[in-house]
Structure 1
Amino acid sequence: MKKFIAASAFMLVTFVSFPCTNLLVGKKASTDGSTLISYAADSYALYGELYHWPAKQYHPGEMLKVYEWDSGKYLGEIPQVLQSYNVIGNMNEYQLAIGETTFGGRSELSDSTGIMDYGSLIYITLQRAKNAREAITVMTDLVKEHGYCSGGESFSIADPDEVWVMEMISKGTGNKGAVWVAVRIPDDCVSAHANQARIQQFPLNDPKNCLYSPDVISFAREQGYFNGDDADFSFAQAYAPLDFGALRYCEARVWSFFNKVNKDMAQYVTYAQGKTTDPMPLYIKPDRKLSAQDIQEMMRDHYEGTELDWRFDVGAGPFNSPYRWSPLTYEVDSVEYCNERPIATQQTAFSFVAQMRSWLPNEVGGILWFGIDDAAQTVYYPFYCGHTETPHEMAIGNGDLLNFSWTSAFWIHNWVSNMVYTRYNDMSIDMKKIQATLEEKFRASQPEVEKEAIRIHQQSISQSVDYLTQYTNNLVKEGVAEWKKLGEYLMVKFLDGVIKREENGQFKRNPYGEPTSPLRPGYSNEYYRKIIDQTGEKYKVHPIE
């Protein structure tokens, strides 16, 4: 999604937007040979649900109506293809997965007349392409033919063998199409992007690893964005120049991921803080190989243990919260200040980790580990890429942002997370126990489930798909019910600011069957000192003479 930044922080960008994060892992950088990409759809205006488009045949001459993903606005129509592919969330039946983050870029390049917005570009392409290279062709052909109406965009595009980052920006009203460059991430490397263009210089004669529009450099020259040698051209510097917000709110998230997987990336901390501008590399080699579970945990990052850790200042409150309410920036005495913007955030509608495995049949090999709400407090469920029936708990129409539903994963997770936010360091412990129990259960059952799915697949592909669909839908039903129980438990345990006593997993009662007196821990000494520092002797208890 697009990035939400105070207007004063980005003088070059006028797009109203919301931030997202993508992490990418090549097949030789993963523990089992999978390719991996992740995505968090972060927006206060987006409802968390799971999209599904079934494979379908169409007649020659049929047209497809295009609606802007962000707003629902009708944009126009384009020719439909004769055959579309099954899509569950952001992965299709061929293990092709696509994610995105919006960097906005130069405001004068906006083109409101285009038919293709970034969201439609993703979901239409997933219905039409079988692999990453084909997806790049489909996406760039669509914007060339029909125009591109969104801001500058970074796309993660991956299949079981290759992982790519493609960056694109339109060319202004009346100049249909877009300039773009796509770089393949080396198999033994990881990459990331988080609402700031990341492709700097790129190879001009290496189509195996880099593709680009013919005018990506010449257009920048025409606009006065670049005047050097072609070999020195930087897409990011030309079309999305850095400023403080791009560094502190966006590149800092990339740095946090890189810093966790490669000790040498600590040197870029001042870049993440917005103090220096020498850019980080587009991709790096990790010190260790990463699993899908590792990437799930990376999506839950709040800058813990780094120079950007913000759990211990006064803004964190008495319970060390790694969250701050919007807006991102604020002004005091004519001086502008900011909150941090970590990967995990309260406004996430949904997130996923897409895992593609080349050694398995597509129907078993592709897993969209999909979760609703804040990535730090979600549960990632394994949706196999042939999935044909959205579970009711995540279905479109089961509630919306203005209508609560007790059967909606979005609303149940938000009910729990908004309790946890109020007493984070206490409640998050209980939340993480249930989260870990559910996800460990999924991983433990995965080998046997996939073994059975492959056995069925040898006899009937459709029955194998049905088996996996039912398996996952049952997990969601059971998991959402368990999360509702978690909410009930937290409400009882922490009611009115005290903590119910427990024994052997049960709330404790006295010998007469009544609840025992609750714990009244109050606040930490560190927080009490902050109160005293601010108020002096206002609350001091003293003897009466």
Structure 2
Amino acid sequence: MACTTILVGKKASFDGSTIIARNEDCPSGEFCEKCMDVNRPDPAKKTYKSVLGHLEVALPEGGTRYTCMPNADLKEGLWEAAGVNEHNVAMNATETLTSNERVLAADPLVAYRAAKGEPGETGYEPEVAGGIGEEDMVTLVLPYATSARDGVLRLGALLERYGTYEMNGIAFADVDEIWWLETVGGHHWIARRVPDDCYVTMPNQLGLDSFDLEDAFGEGHEHLCSADLREFIEDNHLDLSLDGQLNPRDAFGSHSDADHVYNTPRAWDIQRFLNPSAGPWETAAPHEEFGPESDRLPWARVPERKITMEDVKYALSLHFQGTVYDPYGRMGTPATRGMYRPIGINRNCQLTAQQIRPYVDEPRRAVQWIALGSNAFNALVPFYTQVDEVPEYVRSTPKTCTTESFYWANRLIGAMADASFAATQPHVERYQEKLQAAATRLILQADAAGADMAETNQAIADETRRQTDELLGHVLFARSNEMRNGFKRSDN
């Protein structure tokens, strides 16, 4: 899956919350229907079997209830994507990452292989299970994590035992810490604690730009890794540093031409938004330090001001506004408008931002913000997570397109608004501001009054549906006026 992630430390956020957020994007030419749900591990279920990897994994005893963002069509598995459990531990998984030939030769990915022939036949080869992947990780880890660090260690142990068939980055958060884990080859992994005063940008490219092996194999305050990572690096000559300071990007990552078109420009777009004075952003040549193809954009950066939830939404909806690369803009040329892959793209299927708030009681501490469909045209709305179910409007995503579903309503809006961008954008912007403000107000009122969280979620869903239906009407009217078979002479 192609995705974009932003992580915000508690001293960098507007209210002292830890915030982890990610767009889940569909592969090119696909549109994956998503929904929000609440899941609880079945105590009678002792094993989990993946659909894509055909892997069976023993499940621990217990496990807590958790929110999630599963696929509506389960033909490829749950893909629960993001959620918060009863311990107010958040997990967002996964950001697909890149690697290089040296790593993949030293520790190949663990791919599923179907059986060949029939048992007893000459040349029969039995099925070989794959490792764990994006389909599985939230389901296998989030119900059992008691802290962000604990989530890292549980996932790390699963990776070491079963391996993975893809390179991924995974975010964990609790009220105190955010951790970012990156897989390295089939069985290895590294993880860093996000500095409290920083934000992190991740655009489908291995991101960590420094790593302290002494800390990882010592106290583990800020760094964690697989048990044999040091030997893995030495035996396979992966450390490319001249000064002995390991740079994971160089050791484990990629710097391909495709990265410079598809990945790094997204980190550039977010960082120029949150650190506008750091530039020059717009005037730098593509490969220079502040250019959209720069390999030197930092993994973590201190923002110029504290970051809000509306900043998170805007950052994960960016399409190079104000630059020659904006596909909706008038600057540049047809060649530049579309040169780089935007963050807000037609294939966004869901955005989840988990906010763990330190200033409210534990049952209300976690809020899961969701947006469905293309982020340039949707709104981000919050829901309490410590509930047994979520409203039908966000939970129900049928296979048939319908305005009864938050997902489908947003898909319809995005497809029409894209074609009539100038005419519809004022309506979209008003919707985004009004809905997020109204939903946030309902959360604040419920916090103050101690109101029932499920009832508050329903009120938010009702307001979301009302405003989304209203926007759909505005966009339909604007798009209808721009139909090519229109004629200005009136019939009456």
Q: Same fold (TM over 0.5)?
A: yes
Deviations 1:4-42 (A, max 9, x none): xxxxxxxxxxxxxxx111111111111111111111000
* Bigger radius of gyration: 1
2:85 to 88, 92, 103: 92
Q: 1:416 to 1:517 in 2, by over 3 A?
A: farther
Residue 446 in structure 1 maps to residue 453 in structure 2: no
Residue 132 in structure 1 maps to residue 148 in structure 2: yes
The 8 Å contact of residues 255 and 265 in structure 1, kept in 2 or not, is answered as no
Which residue of the partner structure matches residue 216 of structure 1?
A: 229
The AA in structure 1 aligned to 2:204 is N
Q: 1:435 to 1:205 in 2, by over 3 A?
A: same
Which residue of the partner structure matches residue 333 of structure 1?
A: none
Distance in 2 (alpha carbons) for counterparts of 1:517 and 1:85: 64
Which residue of the partner structure matches residue 173 of structure 2?
A: 158
TM-superposed CA distance for 1:214, in Å, is 3.1
Deviations 1:77-114 (A, max 9, x none): 22222211121122222222222311132364221143
Which residue of the partner structure matches residue 118 of structure 1?
A: 134
Secondary structure of the structure 2 residue equivalent to 1:236 = helix
For structure 1, which segment, 365-374 or 428-437, has the greater mean C-alpha deviation from structure 2 after superposition?
428-437
Sequence identity, in percent?
19
Which residue of the partner structure matches residue 461 of structure 1?
A: none
Secondary structure of the structure 2 residue equivalent to 1:83 = coil
1:309 to 299, 317, 326: 326
TM-superposed CA distance for 1:51, in Å, is 3.4
Which residue of the partner structure matches residue 406 of structure 1?
A: 403
Quick check: which one's helix share is greater? 1
Which residue of the partner structure matches residue 101 of structure 1?
A: 95
Which residue of the partner structure matches residue 512 of structure 1?
A: none
The AA in structure 2 aligned to 1:405 is T
The 8 Å contact of residues 353 and 368 in structure 2, kept in 1 or not, is answered as yes
The 8 Å contact of residues 23 and 295 in structure 1, kept in 2 or not, is answered as yes
The 8 Å contact of residues 48 and 394 in structure 1, kept in 2 or not, is answered as no
The 8 Å contact of residues 169 and 183 in structure 2, kept in 1 or not, is answered as yes
The 8 Å contact of residues 197 and 236 in structure 1, kept in 2 or not, is answered as yes
1:487 to 452, 472, 492: 472
Residue 205 in structure 1 maps to residue 210 in structure 2: no
Q: 1:63 to 1:498 in 2, by over 3 A?
A: closer
> 1:370-381, aligned counterparts within 5 Å?
370-381=370-381
The AA in structure 2 aligned to 1:193 is M
Distance in 2 (alpha carbons) for counterparts of 1:388 and 1:143: 30
Secondary structure of the structure 1 residue equivalent to 2:398 = coil
Which residue of the partner structure matches residue 309 of structure 2?
A: 292
Which residue of the partner structure matches residue 530 of structure 1?
A: none
Distance in 2 (alpha carbons) for counterparts of 1:87 and 1:428: 36
Runs (5+) with no aligned partner, structure 2: 69-81, 112-128
TM-superposed CA distance for 1:450, in Å, is 0.9
Which residue of the partner structure matches residue 273 of structure 2?
A: 260
Which residue of the partner structure matches residue 12 of structure 2?
A: 29
2:38 to 52, 65, 81: 52
Q: CA RMSD in A?
A: 2.7
The AA in structure 1 aligned to 2:431 is I
Residue 433 in structure 1 maps to residue 449 in structure 2: no
TM-superposed CA distance for 1:140, in Å, is 0.6
Distance in 1 (alpha carbons) for counterparts of 2:198 and 2:472: 40
The 8 Å contact of residues 8 and 19 in structure 2, kept in 1 or not, is answered as yes
Residue 170 in structure 1 maps to residue 167 in structure 2: no
Which residue of the partner structure matches residue 191 of structure 2?
A: 182
The 8 Å contact of residues 126 and 135 in structure 1, kept in 2 or not, is answered as yes
Distance in 2 (alpha carbons) for counterparts of 1:486 and 1:265: 37
Which residue of the partner structure matches residue 361 of structure 1?
A: 361
Q: 1:379 to 1:282 in 2, by over 3 A?
A: same
Q: 1:45 to 1:346 in 2, by over 3 A?
A: closer
The AA in structure 1 aligned to 2:366 is G
Q: 1:161 to 1:234 in 2, by over 3 A?
A: same
Which residue of the partner structure matches residue 415 of structure 1?
A: 412
The 8 Å contact of residues 240 and 250 in structure 2, kept in 1 or not, is answered as no
TM-superposed CA distance for 1:233, in Å, is 2.6
The 8 Å contact of residues 189 and 285 in structure 1, kept in 2 or not, is answered as yes
TM-superposed CA distance for 1:45, in Å, is 4.2
